[in-house]
């Protein structure tokens, strides 16, 4: 398993009591698999990704990334593991307005060392492989919403992660573009051997995913088969 949450609990203070955002959540996604987590707004989906992404430590339970139990790791060890193994795609593409598509991908490349020219070649290859040939030097305002999400997905792949954590990638897109993006993620999981956890309340695209989970009030359940097309 590439990313595993075992019996995780996450709470936030809430008035006199606590809000249990993750209620003994377990999840395991292997490489080559696109898993979708659906559920209503406020049910804890983004919190699940924050815990899986080592951004928020759970109160209880364990998160294992590519065989490494992260429970006892220091902050810098967690950061290193995040950089080496994890990629993130958020609801809004979070691109910088002034940068071209290629430069968006180069933003974090310096953290890895190596030659700028190699990073630039990799950025161009990734963008091209995601269907952005001809858009490499465009800035966000010159791209459609779907193209911006593709740039964000390409950016998340720059460090060659084993796990991709994706939060509501289609919420700003129309029907056809949404389907393309989910199809693209499924292709990435299968062809690049990535473990992808995609949070969505978009039920229409779930025929494209390999595994389906539902979140309700912090409780995660696994539905064995994806919804039929
Ligand atoms: P979803 O992504 O499914 O909409 P979230 O994980 O964002 O749900 O939020 C789940 C619950 O946790 C919500 O009730 C939200 O208000 C609460 N929550 C999220 N983050 C925090 C925080 N940092 N402090 C307190 N409450 C939070
Ligand atoms: Mg959310």
Helix, coil or strand: residue 20:
strand
CB atoms within 10 A of CB 217: 13
Task: List pLDDT tens digits, range 179-204.
Answer: 999 999 999 999 999 999 999 977 77
Ligand 1 pocket check for 60: Cβ under 6 Å: no
Alpha carbons 34 and 195: distance in angstroms, whole number = 6
Give the residue whose CA is nearest to atom 25 of ligand 1. 12
Class at the top of the CATH hierarchy for domain 3-96+162-223: alpha beta
Is the C-beta atom of 45 inside 6 A of ligand 1? yes
Q: Which band of pLDDT confidence, cut at 50, 70 and 90, is reported for residue 227?
A: low
Model confidence pLDDT, tens digit, residues 146-172: 999 999 999 999 999 999 999 999 888
Residue 44 and residue 22 in contact, taking contact as beta carbons nearer than 8 Å: yes
Cα distances (angstroms) measured from residue 141 to each of 44, 127, 132, 138, 172: 32, 17, 15, 8, 15
Neighbour count for residue 198 (Cβ, 10 Å): 29
Give 53 Cα–ligand 1 centroid separation in angstroms: 15
User: Any idea which of 94-98, 109-113, 188-192, 198-202 has the lowest mean pLDDT?
Assistant: 109-113
pLDDT at res. 38:
94
Q: Which H or E element spans position 38? A: strand 33-38
> What pLDDT score was predicted for residue 228?
60
Q: State the pLDDT confidence band at 111, using cuts at 50, 70 and 90.
A: low
Average pLDDT value over all residues in the chain: 92
Can you state the percent helix, strand and coil of the chain, rounding each to 5?
35, 30, 35
Looking at the DSSP assignment, which residues form a beta bridge with residue 199?
37, 167
CB 165 within 8 A of CB 135: no
Residue 108, pLDDT score? 77
Distance of CA 161 to the CA centre of its chain: 10
Tell me how crowded residue 11 is: count the other CB atoms within 10 A of its CB.
16
pLDDT band, residue 68 (cuts 50/70/90): very high
- CA–CA separation, 31 vs 55, rounded Å? 21
User: Cα(46) to centroid of ligand 1, in Å?
Assistant: 7
Neighbours of 163 (CB within 10 A): 21
At residue 110, does pLDDT exceed 60?
yes
Per-residue confidence (pLDDT) for residue 226, from 0 to 100: 63
What b/e string do you get for 86-120 counting C-beta neighbours within 10 Å, with b at 16 or more?
A: bbbbbbebebeeeebbbbbbbeebeeeeeeeeebe
Averaged pLDDT, 4-19: 96
Domain boundaries, given as residue ranges, for the chain: 3-96+162-223
Residue 131: count other Cβ atoms within 10 Å of its Cβ. 14
pLDDT of residue 171: 86
pLDDT digits (tens, 9 = 90+) for 114-138: 888 999 999 999 999 999 999 999 9
SS3 assignment, position 119: helix
- Residues 135-148 have pLDDT tens digits of 999 999 999 999 99
* Residues pairing with 211 in the sheet: 35
187 in helix, strand or coil? helix
Q: Has residue 92 got a pLDDT over 90? A: no
Which atom of ligand 1 is nearest the CA belonging to 218?
Answer: 10
44 lines ligand 1 (CB under 6 A): yes
Give the CA count within 13 Å in the CB-facing half-sphere of 212: 17
Query: What is the 44 CA–ligand 1 centroid distance (Å)?
Result: 6
């Amino acid at each position: 398993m590439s990313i595993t949450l075992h019996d995780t609990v996450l709470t936030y203070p809430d008035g006199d009591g606590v809000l249990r955002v993750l209620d003994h959540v377990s999840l395991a996604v292997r490489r080559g698999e696109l898993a979708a987590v659906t559920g209503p707004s406020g049910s804890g989906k983004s919190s699940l990704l924050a815990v899986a992404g080592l951004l928020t430590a759970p109160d209880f339970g364990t998160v294992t990334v590519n065989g490494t139990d992260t429970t006892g790791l220091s902050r810098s060890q967690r950061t290193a593991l995040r950089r080496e193994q994890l990629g993130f795609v958020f609801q809004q593409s979070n691109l910088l307005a002034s940068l071209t598509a290629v430069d968006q991908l180069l933003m974090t490349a310096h953290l890895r060392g190596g030659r700028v020219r190699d990073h630039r070649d990799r950025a161009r290859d990734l963008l091209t492989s995601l269907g952005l040939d001809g858009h490499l030097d465009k800035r966000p305002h010159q791209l459609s919403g779907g193209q911006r999400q593709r740039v964000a997905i390409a950016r998340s792949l720059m460090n060659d992660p084993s796990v991709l954590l994706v939060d509501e990638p289609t919420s700003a897109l129309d029907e056809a573009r949404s389907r393309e993006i989910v199809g693209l993620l499924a292709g990435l999981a299968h062809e690049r051997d990535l473990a992808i956890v995609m949070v969505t309340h978009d039920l229409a695209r779930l025929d494209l995913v390999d595994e389906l989970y539902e979140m309700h009030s912090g409780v995660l359940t696994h539905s064995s088969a994806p919804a039929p097309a």
